[in-house]
A and B are shown apart, each in its own frame.
Chain A
Amino acid sequence: MTSRLIGKTPNRRSVIKGMAAGAGALALPSFFPGYSQAQSSEPIRLGFQLHRTGIGASYGRWYERTATAALNVLNEAGGINGRPVEILFEDDGTDPARGAEVFGKLATQSNCDVVFGALFSHVVVGTAPRAAELKVPYLVCSEGHHVASGMLNRWTLQPGITDVKSQVQSMAPWVTSTLGKKITMVFPDYAFGHDHRDFFTAAVAAQGGEVIKHIAIPPTETSFTRYFPQIPAETEVLYHVMVGPAVLTFVKELGEFYGSGTRPEIFGFIDSLEAVDIASPGLEFLEGTHFWEGHPRYKQADASEAEVFYRTAIGVDDNGASVTDPADVATYAHMFSAWETLFVIKAGMEASGYQGPADRQKLVEAIEAMTDFAEGNDHPQGAKTFNGKTHQAFGHQSISQVQGGKLIRVHQTSLEDGYYPDEVDYTSQSF
């Protein structure tokens, strides 16, 4: 098939005719117009790997707003070590290959001291090797178990959000004691879903409950009704977690399936409805069901001063939506990690007397030496402990119930609920 797009391979005659014309055209074009290597050295520059496009874009937009708000608070309070701070946002397309490239760009081209902000696990895993190669601290906001599992490296830390293993483990006692002991799980059929499956199943068994059915849904699926009949009739609790653009369809179809008939208790991860208004048409059936929330979306009656401060700083109303557009619902359960991670960087830089890139290793060591974060404006989601060996933070988790179209917290886990034996000691690894 000859095509307009494939040039004719030259025959000998045309070649000889063209030879004269071609002489001297061997010079390669220069692809590298020099970047200005601005080294004013005054501000501390932090790189932010941003999911601006791709499947993480809903999260990315709010992560950018959160980090920007946190930055303003930080700078108004005098910056870090008396120096102003700036954040450079760079789009990674929610793609692991581009993530590693963006990391390199921020670290070597823009001379950022530290890079943080990534949420999606595959971006984190794809980028972490680059962080170790360049010896630049990489602080992820991902809730994946990849950091604490020992899969990554000394330069990658997760001080701003609890990992999924700890989250689900701390939920299990409440779920089995309050909702029921026979559980069916619905989850996406890839690594993120498998982590939920493995950790929650084990945690439930430890509580004397049983996961009676696993329903793994292919990630390319856009319609879910046909999977619901697989839910065994004796199920007492339906546990669901979904991510991606089709999540709302999933929840709505679940509602259609059960309708007004009898149904098991429903416990979901808010990931299934992050950035989605609970009051959307078709979600009425969620009334009375329960959700895990990393951070309660609706302002609770007992909200702390720090919580109110945080909400106001970003511009989020009491319902967890933008103050300028009530239809613009935040990714509230996760985005606090961008805020808190920035203040961990601040604390780490101040503890290590951070001066410049030469002190990056000291910064990592200073963060590893941290043990707990007190609740306050720096940590509005609540108090946390930090395990320097596994590079992982552990915080309180919320279980909320949909009451009157709002998520009301009915249980908060203790920090101890989420502890598990260390799987790695990064401090024994070389830099």
Chain B
Amino acid sequence: MSFGPFLLLALMEGMVTSAVLALAAVGLSLVFGIMRVVNVAHGEFFMLGAVSAWFVSQWVPGPPAVAFAAALILCPLFVGAIAALADMVVLKRLNYEPEATIVATIGLLYILQQAALSFYGPDARPVPAPFNFRVQLPWFGYSGYKIAVVAASALVLLGVWRLLAKSRVGLIMRATQYDRETARAFGINVDRVYAGVFALGGGLAALAAVLIVPIQQAHYLMGTDPLLLSFIVVIIGGLGSLRGTVIAALLIGLSDGVISTFFAPTLAKIVATLLVALVLVFRPQGLFGRRAL
């Protein structure tokens, strides 16, 4: 393949990676930004979303698009409920201490993985995309659904941004983020806000998974990689900065797509990983954060 189409494909793949990253990271960013909680189980919420999407696709009859639409609604609700439960039963009682929540969410990670292994099994299973068309370019074919994922992730991000910036719920969340005690003094039920934010974070992870699972597969160990990547995106973007998260996802997705197209892939991964570390070393607040973490 000649250079031009090659680069085009790399860029398209990079856009898809960016979309996936941004989708997976936005929930984590929210939880991290508002609650200051490092949720190690975030990737497992993602996994649960994908796995439950598979169950929905088995139960709902009719064309794949119907099951897909059902999954888009049911899976985030289901996972959000689990997240809210985890918040109320465990995290709240830990007073959201950083180290304590890390350990608790590692515990949660194991519990969720085992639940998936026991009830869903060890196999990777495909979930059908709502529609199947291939964009046939002169040089190569490309999945139409992947392009739809890019568009959908833009919509989701826009929605989250509107929720935070323009709605009353968002105002309450931002107030709680800004100063928990003062928010409480103004009659905001901080406990409920936290449970809600954690549920929203989990639900967003599940929503991301439902969108992404047709181009990957549902598997009980699939949560690890999104977790690691989401973390990187959130930190590089800057704590709690939605804009930063999006730009970091674009930066990492595109550079990963392009670098590993032209160099030995494993070497490219090493270089990219070191670059992320060095960005943080010299700019600990991330690219768009206002203060150090």
Contacts and interface: CB of A to CB of B under 8 A. Distances in A.
A53 interface: yes
Contact of B136 (A57, A226, A246, A260): A260
B192 to A, nearest CB: 23
Contact of B122 (A61, A226, A256, A261): A61
Interface string B1-39: 100011001100110110000000000000000000000
B115 interface: no
Interface residues of B, number: 46
A319 B257 CA distance: 38
A221 interface: yes
A247 interface: yes
B98 A3 contact: yes
Contact of A58 (B98, B100, B123, B143): B123
Interface string B208-243: 000000011101111001000000000000000000
Contacts of B94: 4
Nearest to A188: B266
B99 A3 contact: yes
Contacts of B220: 57
A256 B9 CA distance: 12
A261 B141 CA distance: 8
A5 B99 contact: yes
B269 A60 contact: no
B99 A218 contact: no
Interface in B95-134: 95, 97-100, 103, 117, 121-124, 126, 128-129, 132, 134
B285 interface: no
A245 B261 contact: no
Interface residues of A, number: 47
B109 to A, nearest CB: 13
A73 interface: no
Given A218-B266, A245-B217, A57 B122 contact: yes
Nearest to A255: B141
B136 A259 contact: yes
Contact of B10 (A53, A226, A276): A226
A207 B132 CA distance: 41
A312 interface: no
A217 to B, nearest CB: 6
B37 to A, nearest CB: 14
Interface string A223-234: 101111110010
A55 B13 contact: no
B97 A216 contact: no
Given A216-B264, A233-B1, A257-B141, A225 B122 contact: no
Contacts of A58: 122-124
Contacts of A228: 140
A227 B265 contact: yes
Nearest to B228: A220
Contact of B140 (A57, A216, A220, A229): A229
Interface string B41-65: 0000000000000000000000000
Contacts of A216: 264-266
A225 B132 CA distance: 17
Nearest to B221: A245
A275 interface: yes
Contacts of A276: 123-124
A431 interface: no
B97 A3 contact: yes
B141 A258 contact: yes
A249 B126 CA distance: 9
B54 to A, nearest CB: 11
A278 B222 CA distance: 21
A189 B265 contact: yes
B134 A220 contact: no
Contacts of B140: 228-229, 257, 259, 261
A116 to B, nearest CB: 21
Which residue, of A221, A227, A256, A259, has the highest number of chain B Cβ atoms within 10 A? A256
B132 A218 contact: no
Contacts of A217: 265
Nearest to A61: B122
Contacts of A252: 126
B25 to A, nearest CB: 15
Interface in B234-293: 257, 260-261, 264-266, 269
A108 interface: no
Interface in B136-157: 136, 140-143
Contacts of A253: 143
B68 to A, nearest CB: 12
Contacts of B142: 225, 256
B9 A249 contact: no
Given A4-B100, A5-B100, A249 B216 contact: yes
A8 to B, nearest CB: 15
B269 A61 contact: no
B158 to A, nearest CB: 24
A255 B6 CA distance: 17
A60 B9 contact: no
Nearest to B64: A281
A275 B217 CA distance: 13
30 contacts: A4-B94, A4-B99, A6-B99, A54-B221, A61-B122, A216-B265, A216-B266, A218-B265, A218-B266, A220-B269, A225-B9, A225-B13, A226-B261, A229-B1, A229-B6, A229-B140, A246-B124, A246-B216, A248-B124, A248-B126, A257-B140, A259-B136, A260-B136, A260-B141, A261-B141, A280-B126, A281-B128, A281-B129, A282-B126, A329-B123
Interface of B: 1, 5-6, 9-10, 13-14, 16-17, 94-95, 97-100, 103, 117, 121-124, 126, 128-129, 132, 134, 136, 140-143, 215-217, 219-222, 225, 257, 260-261, 264-266, 269
Given A225-B13, A249-B215, 13 more contacts: A3-B97, A61-B122, A189-B265, A223-B215, A225-B142, A226-B261, A227-B265, A246-B216, A253-B143, A256-B142, A258-B141, A260-B141, A276-B124
